[in-house]
Amino acid sequence: MRRLTLFIVSDSIGETADLVAKAAASQFRQGLETVSMKRFSHVEDESQLNEIVYLAKKQEAIIVYTLVKSDMRFRLKEECKNKGIKCIDLMGPIVDLISAELDEHPIEEPGLVRKLDEDYYKKIEAIEFAVKYDDGRDPRGILKADIVLVGVSRTSKTPLSQYLAHKRYKVANVPLVPEVDPPEELFMIEPEKCFGLVISPEKLNFIRKERLIALGLKDDANYAQLDRIKTEIEHFKKVVEKIGCNVIDVTNRAVEETANVILSEISSRNG
């Protein structure tokens, strides 16, 4: 039984070429058993290319490569031609076609697709975190969060958590009510991680009445009473003073504006 060796060459980790080569080999009977693959990752200079071609010549291997830099692709192709080595360029033709269609030169930076994937999965993880630790459901999330939001009901804690999650921050939010002691975890975190959201009693009174009406309820419930709201806000002030965190007035701010205040604060701390 003849055996075939494929050299997988990449200026990143080589996952793409490896998967394509395996998919192709699987189309043949016992293909994955008779085709062996050796991966050469993070190939960045011509001396490495020359060494790989030399080894391929000795082992009668075929070179399959994904190199984003056009000069590296050209050098490898020429070296293979000179040494009589068969090679397959998986990246070049696609990049060249897209470049021509867009009338734009490619960046030619290795590993960009992995960076995009990592960024995507980090965002998804942050969104799932915000859902899991929304509205004080599990106080353990407070200690794991990048940002903790506290405030009375209807101060936009949940939409703000989701907005910040799309910026890849893990956010937990905790509602504060006078009848329930705040979770002790709030006083265990660094105050800089916590942001209190406050709103004028009159604005909150209007928002809560609208909320009750939307739910088909009467708007004169204790939840929307001005005296009740003032009591909640006084309780809020005592808690955030004990935490020592920043307080943001969200009375006339959109969620995006509040988020920008938080992100600017974090950015200034990180220098």
Do both 152 and 191 map to the same domain? yes
Q: Using an 8 Å Cβ cutoff, are 173 and 148 in contact?
A: yes
Q: Which of 79, 95, 110 is the last residue of a domain?
A: 110
Q: Which one is predicted more confidently, 117 or 208?
A: 208
The token duo for 34 is 């008779």
Q: Which of 64, 90, 110 is the last residue of a domain?
A: 110
pLDDT above 90 (res 110): no
Exposed/middle/buried for 162, CB within 10 Å: 0-12, 13-18, 19+? Answer: middle
pLDDT above 90 (res 269): no
CA distance 271 to 258: 20
pLDDT at 220: 84
Do both 48 and 158 map to the same domain? no
> Which sign, positive or negative, has the C-alpha torsion 89, 93, 98, 99?
positive
pLDDT above 90 (res 1): no
pLDDT at 32: 65
- Write b or e for each residue in 8-33: b if 16 or more Cβ atoms lie within 10 A of its Cβ, otherwise e: bbbbbebebbbeebeeebeeeeeeee
CATH code for position 63? 3.40.50.2300
Q: Which domain holds residue 17?
A: 4-110
Do both 125 and 213 map to the same domain? yes
pLDDT at 114: 73
Do both 204 and 263 map to the same domain? yes
Do both 98 and 200 map to the same domain? no
CA distance 79 to 34: 26
Q: Which of 94, 110, 126 is the last residue of a domain?
A: 110
pLDDT at 65: 97
Do both 33 and 75 map to the same domain? yes
Do both 135 and 238 map to the same domain? yes
Parallel/antiparallel/unpaired status of strands 62-66 and 171-175 = unpaired
Please write the tens of the pLDDT for every residue from 139-181: 999 999 999 999 999 999 999 999 999 999 999 999 999 999 9
Q: What is the 3-state secondary structure (H, E, C) of the chain?
A: CCCEEEEEEECCCCHHHHHHHHHHHCCCCCHHHHEEEEEECCCCCHHHHHHHHHHHHHHCCEEEEECCCHHHHHHHHHHHHHHCCCEEECCHHHHHHHHHHHCCCCCCCCCHHHHHHHHHHHHHHHHHHHHHCHHHCCCHHHHHCCEEEEECCCCCHHHHHHHHHCCCCCEEEEECCCCCCCCHHHHCCCHHHEEEEECCHHHHHHHHHHHHHHCCCCCCCHHHCHHHHHHHHHHHHHHHHHHCCEEEECCCCCHHHHHHHHHHHHHHHCC
Q: Using an 8 Å Cβ cutoff, are 260 and 268 in contact?
A: no
Do both 44 and 88 map to the same domain? yes
Going edge to edge, which strands form the sheet with 4-10?
35-40, 4-10, 62-66, 87-89
Do both 28 and 86 map to the same domain? yes
pLDDT above 80 (res 30): no
pLDDT band at 31 (very low <50, low <70, confident <90, very high): low
Do both 62 and 169 map to the same domain? no
Work out the mean pLDDT of the chain and round it to a whole number. Answer: 93
pLDDT at 270: 78
pLDDT at 271: 63
Number of domains forming the structure of the chain: 2
Binding residues for ADP: 151-158
Side-chain-facing half-sphere of 183: CA atoms under 13 Å: 21
Do both 224 and 163 map to the same domain? yes
Which whole number is the average pLDDT over 69-81? 96
CA distance 73 to 11: 10
Highest mean pLDDT out of 10-19, 61-70, 210-219: 61-70
Binding residues: 151-158
Best CA proximity match to 183, nearest among 224, 136, 230 = 136
CATH code for position 211? 3.40.50
pLDDT above 90 (res 120): no
Do both 102 and 149 map to the same domain? no
Which whole number is the average pLDDT over 53-70? 96
